[in-house]
Structure 1
Amino acid sequence: MPLQVLATLAGSSVDARDAAVEVSGITLDSRLVAPGDLYVALPGQRHHGATFGAAAAEAGAVAVLTDPAGLDLATRAGLPVLVADAVRAVMAQVAAEVYGRPAERLTMFGITGTNGKTTTSFLLDAALRAAGHRTGNVGTIGFLLDGRPLDAARTTVTTPESPELQALLAHLAEAGADAVVMEVSSHALVLGRVDAIDFDVAAFTNFGRDHLDFHGDEESYFAAKAQLFTPARTRRVVLNLDDPRGRQLLAQVRRTSELEVRTVSLLDDGADYRACSTRLLPDGETAVVAIAGGREVTFTLRLPGDFNVRNALTALAMVELAGFDVTAAAAGLGGATVPGRMERVPMPAGAPAVVVDFAHTPQAVAAALRALHGRRCVVVLGCGGDRDPDKRAPMGAAAAADAAVVVVTDDNPRSEDPAAIREIVLRGARAEAGLRGARVIDGGDRRSAIRQALALAGPDDVVAVLGKGHETGQQVGAQVLPFADAAVVREEWDVLSREGPS
């Protein structure tokens, strides 16, 4: 791509001698620069990215895109410099241009919400493949093509930064995908990561307290998610009417635009997609009879809980709005499993049942425990450090509201004192336990807590290990230590089995 084309797109200028410089990639990490890249220098918490312009040039960068504050530093690198005020928005458009605007060659599905994004994306992915489509999946678990993981590094938790995202979409399109399912985080919407994408269908799962360390308050957090449901971002929307914010979005969409809408509910008979009946099967699956797209559809789910029935209905509504075969798609739902989302850990005879889930908000904790169908539950729960501290006590309370025993432990403490985080969670759990008699324990570190929970559970009980789900590491200080909940559960059960009753 000639640099002059990108300069025009950025609203910047470039010297005539540099106009024909060829740009073959784009990155905002100077450590990842490849020859031919445009290096994007953004302001950071400690340093401006333009500080690393010389390193980018040495690695093969052919130009720099930055904001006015980075101009002088970037110029010292000796490369052509493009300047833009709204550099993140420009970066998204430039990245799309460099990689041939791949989203325009794909059917793009975007899913946002506090909880349920990952599960809904996996259900939708399975449904689309059952309907004959080749799919890409972009989200918290990683990047997949037709259900198989791609070997790719990532720099964000959920939605990649726009240069990484556009390169990924180009790869998926070249590999034969015709549809991409993407989790769209509130951070991504605020930081312009998806600015160059016009989604074919966007869905809203639910809303609860989260990420207030970034957004400041719940209204700002909701406003960030609501950006997705506008004509500037999407053409069609699916909304959950069982959530008050879903009903608020429906009113906003109908008042301000003519977007095509489908509604989903387990409670509202007027919704477009609704469950007529659900029945738990002997093997733990759920059989669902639903109204979908104006006709009756039957499917099964391996994933427990009413919220997963709603997630499945959301996936089917997205399929229909895209103009694809809903009946064929429904047949694929029963094969969907999601790493770390109500994931059953294989256990030997005589052991309690164990599930691992990513639940890390009060709403998600409550929903996960309700999905365990009334079994006596021992829950292992922690909260992350350097994140919204005001959700910690409510998470403890949510666990104590449904569990017989709450073992409070560490999640990813990061730079905070783990014991101080646990104390806040314990406070919330004990306040709720005082009302209903649940037992609350400070389990200490996560491995010890898992071992205590297993020891306290009988063969007819269920142990729910919440908070980290699919994660395979635990961040303590600056280190990320190997730690996978499911693996530790099996290791600690083996230790308990060898030791016998205490």
Structure 2
Amino acid sequence: MDTAEFEGSAQTLRPSNVAGYEVESVKNLIEELGYQARIESAGSSSITGLSMDSREVQSGDIYVALPGARAHGAEFAQATVKSGASAILTDARGAELIGELPESIGLLVCEDLRAVVGPISARIYNSQPENADDFSLFAVTGTNGKTTTTYMINSIMQSLEHTTGLIGTIEIVAGGVAIPSKLTTPESPHVHSLLSLMRERGITSAAMEVSSHALDYRRVDGVRYSVAGFTNLTQDHLDLHGTMDSYFASKAALFTPERAARAVILTDDAWGTSMADSADQAMGQSNVVRLYSNMGKSYDVAPQLAENDWALTDVKRSGIGHDFTVVRGDGVTLRTSTQLPADFNVSNAALAAVMVAESGVDLEALSAVLKRPETLTPLVPGRMQLIAHTPTALVDFAHNPDALKRALEAVEPAEADGRVIVVFGATGERDQTKRPIMGDIAAQYADIVIVTDDDPHNEAPAPIREAVEAGARAAQEQGARAQEVHNIEPRSRAIEFAASIAGEHDSIVVAGRGHETAQDVAGEDLELDDRVEVARALTQQGYDVLPDYRLD
């Protein structure tokens, strides 16, 4: 595949073969969905694309002009006409704001724009033809583990000789060509155009991270997944959702027959059990698979399983990773391994394997590729990414209490004199309640806690650090493990300090930012890559880092 075929951004990549639609056809589709629409002008140009951003409009697009927090999209409608828009879809207020349009431009009015834009995008781009059976589409949702699981799914499918695509937090990948990703899930027109493009370019399998934001903001409306998977639910994004119950409800919206043909749910705790029960009611029990992983530690004795449910068994340490088995209630057994560290990556790997198994692939072929350790050991940027062995130094995206706890548990030193050193912070303009909680977690699971800045955004950094530090010191006073608690800024100096005090048997975890290469401070993006900073700091102390991170 020629890399040039995918040049551009996720927002501008479009399929080349799109059947044109008239305004009347779009109106009929809206009414088929159960919403009302009226044509103010039929226009005379065919619609061959769709955009929600006036700056991205291309020739032949229908521009969807929605009301925004600061301005109504209709205020930019005239500019889209100059860019070649064929039609505009807006609400009544938008129609008033647009003013007079050329006769060739269609104008369609609907009050339920967010509800209809996804299905319209699906139809215009023909992203999932009804008769298509040559394209497997996987979705993964949950608080932690989405990225790693999608990379693992793609690695399995590649081993099964599929050409794969990925839509996720770190990047969008189309057949091996990566496009940097700004959103965990792009807007629905981008999703549908990308899916159509992938199919056009011969991609036969794709995996997507689906966040609660994507579901709430209807970014995946009109998409139906072959298999949807659930990792876990822990405190995060409460600035958006308010309560854990509301957060749960957002995730549960993925597990409906409109969005997924089949579901695989990790049932490691009460939230997982509730998610499986909710999916049962929505999708029917025969389409919902429970995966019992016991938080990646497996069961001494496998639980009693329904015929289509799975359990993780026989987990054994192997190098920095684990060998393990997943067994289905009907006796199907898959033996495999991952060399990614941490118990939670065993759960992620088990979920990936079971999701692929439940997609209908040949189980003998799947069993064969899973016997190769590299199949479930993809490089996942910024997710438990190993920088050095001596001392053990990793960079991880852990940015909420549960993820931080799991990361710290995973790096417990083998030597008695080894210590766990953690460098982390909390994000500005996000859920403030988790800041002292993260400090508490750090103090419980690390010997030396170094609090620093994450992405403050437009919030003053010092009070954020102080809230995290307060949680750590309170835990320390209650007898927590931490021997020392430090508050150091900027982040690069905090990382340098960690390297300067680390011994050969210690473990360093730099948590919170993972793959990110710019730090948002007061609206300014400052160049900062934790992986580069850790490598530089360790090298300055005379330690050897892995070849990919050597600075010479």
TM-score between the two structures when normalised by the length of structure 2: 0.85
Write the distance in 2 (CA, Å) between the matches of 1:447 and 1:85: 49
Write the distance in 1 (CA, Å) between the matches of 2:38 and 2:379: 50
Equivalent residue letter for 2:347: R
Write the distance in 2 (CA, Å) between the matches of 1:210 and 1:17: 46
Quote the offset at 1:92 in angstroms.
Answer: 0.7
Q: Does 1:261 align with 2:288?
A: yes
Q: Does 1:418 align with 2:461?
A: yes
Asked whether the 8 Å contact 1:239–1:246 carries over to 2, the reply is: yes
Name structure 2 gaps, 5 residues minimum: 1-19, 32-36, 544-552
Specify the alignment match of 1:144 in structure 2. 173
Asked whether the 8 Å contact 1:281–1:287 carries over to 2, the reply is: yes
- Give the 3 Å change call, closer, same or farther, for CA 73–324 of structure 1 in structure 2: same
Q: Which residue, out of 382, 388, 396, partners 1:340?
A: 382
Local SS of the residue matching 1:102: coil
Local SS of the residue matching 2:433: helix
Write the distance in 2 (CA, Å) between the matches of 1:162 and 1:224: 17
Q: Does 1:491 align with 2:536?
A: yes
Quote the offset at 1:53 in angstroms.
Answer: 1.1
Q: Does 1:163 align with 2:163?
A: no
Q: Which residue, out of 94, 110, 118, partners 2:147?
A: 118
Asked whether the 8 Å contact 2:384–2:395 carries over to 1, the reply is: yes
1:96-495 alignment, distance < 5 Å: 96-102=122-128, 105=132, 106-146=135-175, 148-151=176-179, 154=181, 156-259=182-285, 260-267=287-294, 269-270=302-303, 272-282=309-319, 284-292=320-328, 294-325=331-362, 326-331=366-371, 333-346=375-388, 351-374=390-413, 376-434=419-477, 435-438=479-482, 439-495=484-540
Quote the offset at 1:494 in angstroms.
Answer: 3.3
Name structure 1 gaps, 5 residues minimum: none
Local SS of the residue matching 2:117: helix
Deviation by residue 1:67-119 (Cα, 9 ceiling, x = unmatched): 23322113445542222222112111111112113375432211100111001
Q: Does 1:2 align with 2:21?
A: yes
Equivalent residue letter for 1:403: A
Specify the alignment match of 2:89 in structure 1. 65
Equivalent residue letter for 2:292: S
Write the distance in 2 (CA, Å) between the matches of 1:21 and 1:289: 57
Quote the offset at 1:329 in angstroms.
Answer: 4.7
Asked whether the 8 Å contact 2:400–2:434 carries over to 1, the reply is: yes
Write the distance in 1 (CA, Å) between the matches of 2:101 and 2:511: 48
Asked whether the 8 Å contact 2:266–2:293 carries over to 1, the reply is: no
Write the distance in 2 (CA, Å) between the matches of 1:265 and 1:17: 55
Q: Which residue, out of 12, 22, 33, partners 2:46?
A: 22
Quote the offset at 1:17 in angstroms.
Answer: 5.1
TM-score between the two structures when normalised by the length of structure 1: 0.93
Quote the offset at 1:28 in angstroms.
Answer: 1.1
Quote the offset at 1:160 in angstroms.
Answer: 0.8
Specify the alignment match of 2:34 in structure 1. none
Asked whether the 8 Å contact 1:107–1:200 carries over to 2, the reply is: yes
Equivalent residue letter for 2:446: A
Deviation by residue 1:163-222 (Cα, 9 ceiling, x = unmatched): 111111111111111121111110111111111011111111000111111122211111
Quote the offset at 1:2 in angstroms.
Answer: 2.4
Write the distance in 1 (CA, Å) between the matches of 2:226 and 2:317: 34
Write the distance in 2 (CA, Å) between the matches of 1:290 and 1:234: 23
Quote the offset at 1:133 in angstroms.
Answer: 1.8
Residues matched between the structures, number = 490
Equivalent residue letter for 1:370: E
Quote the offset at 1:371 in angstroms.
Answer: 1.2
Quote the offset at 1:47 in angstroms.
Answer: 0.9
Write the distance in 2 (CA, Å) between the matches of 1:487 and 1:131: 34
Asked whether the 8 Å contact 1:26–1:38 carries over to 2, the reply is: yes
Q: CA RMSD in A?
A: 2.0
Identity %: 38
Quote the offset at 1:278 in angstroms.
Answer: 2.2
Equivalent residue letter for 2:158: R
